[in-house]
Amino acid sequence: MSINQMEDKNSMDNRENRKSREKAIELKNVAVHYTESKSLFKREKYQALKDISFDVYKGETLGIIGRNGAGKSTLLRLLAGIIKPDKGEVIHHCKSVSLMALAAGFDPNLSGRQNAVISGMLIGHSKKEMLSKLEEIKEFAELGDFFEKPVKTYSSGMRARLGFATAMHTHPDVLLIDEVLAVGDANFKQKAEKAITDKIQSDITVILVSHSEQQMKRLCERVVWVESGKVVKSGSDLDNIFQLYRMNMKFSRSGIFIENFEKLDPNVEFCFESLEFKQDKLVFNCFFCYKIDCEITNVKVNPANVVLSGPFASPIVGSRYKKYQIAYKSRFHCGVCIINKENFISAYINNVESIVLKFKIVKNREGYE
């Protein structure tokens, strides 16, 4: 282990030791709806959030994932107190919450300098405090002379950098970040992520929305997966949650949902490649890789009692897991699983049979369109 890795591990251990299970924010059966205008005389309610419940703990970094339109940004506005729930309650056990999103809270007619001062004052800093931080904010945001110009002249990336720089130089109890780290050049992204890491080490509570799985895994201790306005899954097992999330993003348009996915062997890497409905069954191809070089034979699915054909060549998987020779021949075909029942995948690994995966596939799952 390198010195840098040891320092990262020690800082994370110290953070774990300092962190309490004291709640910063509670959401209890929260629902939010908007009224949509369908025509001149017709309006309909759109349910953005449906019966959302989870807690945010002081000092933790929580990630929120979900496809575009799943309700993530509405959830952040709710957590920030910008909107109120139509049902349920949001309980804040903190004094200040700052939402960092593209152009959030900026007056387009004011300069970057003026907006930075106002943003800081809105979360409790004095004008004198904010004035003393302006040069640091300007330098971090890399805006140059644009810092003195109206925000309406900024690009989306410039607005994001201003918002990020302002938030990094203020001290809210809870910092909400809505996909801001995806904006900007590579150097700014690297600088921004380091600043977030420093904030995390200072015990601030951070809630992060991002489409970057690797970024989430580097920064977050827990994730909440939101889809169609509901919490699908949450927890600290990020590898398992992201694997299930990726598979469902790929196949949800087929009208199915993969749930209760569990690796019974931590060395297994598995992913569905293609799916085809046949009555109450699902025929699938997959890649099945093991993180230890070994011989894999007789990959079987129960209760259908079907042995998959293969393994076949899989250069793409091999390039992803270059360390494992077995990955270059890890594609299997013609598996069959039963819909609405728990399915198990077993394999002979070095001539020893073991059950390595279990999952359930449901069709047209309510709340997951």
pLDDT (tens digit, 9 = 90+) per residue, 238-253? Answer: 888 888 888 888 776 6
Q: Residues 272, 129: one domain? A: no
Both tokens of 197, joined, read 């890491």
Q: Is the peptide bond before 303 cis (omega within 30 degrees of 0)?
A: yes
Tell whether 5 is covered by a domain. no
- Residues 284 and 328 placed together within one structural domain of the fold: yes
CATH of the domain at 78: 3.40.50.300
pLDDT, position 101: 60
Query: Do 250 and 347 sit in the same domain of this protein?
Result: yes
Residue 111 pLDDT > 90: yes
Shared domain check, 271 and 213: no
CA-to-CA dists, residue 23 to 1, 58, 92, 122, 226, angstroms: 34, 6, 9, 23, 20
Query: Domain limits at 352?
Result: 246-363
CB 111 within 8 A of CB 99: no
What pLDDT is stored for residue 110 in this prediction? 92
DSSP 329: G
> Domain check: are 183 and 262 in the same one?
no
CA atoms of 356 and 268, how far apart (whole Å): 7
**pLDDT of res. 14:** 45
- Look at residue 62 in the predicted model and tell me its pLDDT: 93
* 60-81 per-position pLDDT tens digit: 889 999 888 888 888 988 888 8
Q: Label residue 364 by pLDDT band (50, 70, 90).
A: low
Q: Residue 4: pLDDT band by 50, 70, 90 thresholds? A: very low
Instruction: Look at 139 and 19; give whichever has higher pLDDT.
Output: 139
Integer CA distances (angstroms), 171 to 65, 104, 122, 237, in order: 25, 17, 12, 29
State pTM to two decimals: 0.73
Domain's final residue, options 208, 225, 240: 240
Residue 150 has pLDDT above 90, yes or no: yes
Q: State both tokens at 116.
A: 């930075």
First to last CA, the chain: 45
For residue 7, being part of any structural domain is answered with no
Q: What single-letter DSSP state applies at residue 125?
A: -
Region 103-114: mean pLDDT is 81
Average pLDDT, stretch 203-209?
Answer: 85
> Which of 123-127, 146-150, 172-176, 211-215 has the weakest average pLDDT?
123-127
For the chain, the residue count is 369
Confidence (pLDDT) at 261: 81
User: Under 8 Å CB-to-CB from 109, ≥6 apart: which residues?
Assistant: 150, 151, 152
Say whether both 160 and 96 belong to one domain.
Answer: yes
pLDDT digits (tens, 9 = 90+) for 303-314: 999 999 988 888
- Residues 139 and 42 reside in one and the same domain: yes
**149 band by pLDDT with thresholds 50, 70 and 90:** very high
Quick check: is 93 in a domain? yes
So what's the pLDDT on residue 104?
57
Residues 38-47 have pLDDT tens digits of 666 777 788 8
Mean of pLDDT over the chain: 81
> What are all long-range contacts of 197-202, with beta carbons under 8 Å and residues at least 24 apart?
199/168, 199/175, 200/15, 200/61, 201/11, 201/15
> Over 70: is that where the pLDDT of 24 sits?
yes
Average pLDDT over residues 88-115: 80
Q: Is 351 left (phi over 0), alpha (psi -120 to 50) or beta?
A: left
Residue 189 and residue 89 in one domain? yes
Q: Please report the pLDDT score of residue 10 as a whole number.
A: 45
- 352 in the same domain as 231: no
Of 240, 259, 280, the residue at which a domain comes to its end is 240
Whole-number Cα distances in Å, 130 to 142, 167, 170: 18, 11, 8
Q: Which two tokens stand for residue 252?
A: 């949800």
pLDDT, one tens digit per residue, over 180-197 is 666 566 777 778 778 877
pLDDT of residue 182: 60
Alpha carbons 345 and 352: distance in angstroms, whole number: 14
- Whether residue 357 is predicted with pLDDT greater than 60 in this model: the reply is yes
- pLDDT value at 1 more than 80: no
Among candidates 341, 337, 312, 339, which has minimal Cα distance to 327? 312
Note whether residue 260 is domain-resident. Answer: yes
116, pLDDT greater than 50: yes
3-state secondary structure of 337: strand
pLDDT given at position 153: 92
For the residues 106-123, what does the mean pLDDT come to?
86
Give how far Cα 123 sits from Cα of 73, 116, 147, 237, Å.
20, 11, 21, 33
- The alpha-helical segments, DSSP class H, found in the chain are 3-18, 72-79, 112-122, 127-141, 156-168, 186-201, 213-219, 238-251, 315-320
- Is the residue at 12 inside a domain? no
- What domain count does the chain have? 2
